[in-house]
Amino acid sequence: MCFHRRLVLGCNHFVWLGILQPCEVEKAFQRGGLDLSCDVMWSHGYGTIRISEKCLRCTTIMTNDKSRFWELKGRIKALKEKLDSIKGALDVKEGEWLNPETDPGTNSDRMTEDGTAASCSSPEETAVPRDTSFQDGSVENSESMEDMEDLEMIYVDRKLRPFKLPVYILERMAKEVDERERRR
């Protein structure tokens, strides 16, 4: 194994340089005693040179990536500008829709409180229909508080009761389990 100089580039690729110290196999090859030279290359920290430049391959990849990045950044910026212009146009249309005085259309498409079409043009009489499902105080399609209490209870198997909890927590848990068993 021959010790060679090594050039380490900024991208951590390396290039082998000349031989610093040939091994016995390499010396015998140079004298003509062997047909094959030493193919094992080794480097030492003292024979290693580090530079900040990148290799040619990494430099081309980096420039291509930078150009693609700037191209994508430009596309994203153009899309953001287009979205902002669309948002601005929608805001103007929404503002016109909310203000009935500036709407040049007819009032036949507006609804009254009972859900019928309005025939008058005053904004007081033309309104959006309200949601009346919860006006009487009833709760539909939701859980009652009794159902929620069962979910909030702590279910403890008495065999697996933890021993390191404080006594008052264990007593509370035992009471909850006893109450639950009495209800059943």
Report, as ranges of residue numbers, the positions in the chain whose pLDDT lies below 50. 103, 107-108, 120, 122-134, 137-142
How confident is the model at residue 70, as a pLDDT? 92
The verdict on residue 137 lying in a domain is no
Cα torsion through 155, 160, 166, 169, rounded to 10: 10
For the stretch 10-20, what's the b/e string if a residue is b when 16 or more beta carbons lie within 10 angstroms of its beta carbon? eeeeeeeeeee
How confident is the model at residue 157, as a pLDDT? 60
- Residues 83 and 121 grouped into a single domain: no
Question: Phi then psi for 7, rounded to 5 degrees?
Answer: -105, 115
The span from the CA of 156 to the CA of 138, in Å, is 35
How confident is the model at residue 57, as a pLDDT? 92
How confident is the model at residue 127, as a pLDDT? 47
- Residues 30 and 62 grouped into a single domain: no
The verdict on residue 22 lying in a domain is yes
Residue 28, both tokens: 């015998």
- Domain hosting residue 110, numbered range: 105-131
The verdict on residue 118 lying in a domain is yes
How confident is the model at residue 156, as a pLDDT? 59
Beta-carbon contacts of 40 under 8 Å, excluding residues fewer than 6 positions away, are 1, 2, 23
The verdict on residue 167 lying in a domain is yes
The verdict on residue 10 lying in a domain is yes
How confident is the model at residue 98, as a pLDDT? 59
Q: Which of 98, 105, 155, 148 is nearest to 127 (CA)?
A: 98
Per-residue pLDDT tens digits for 158-172: 666 555 556 667 778
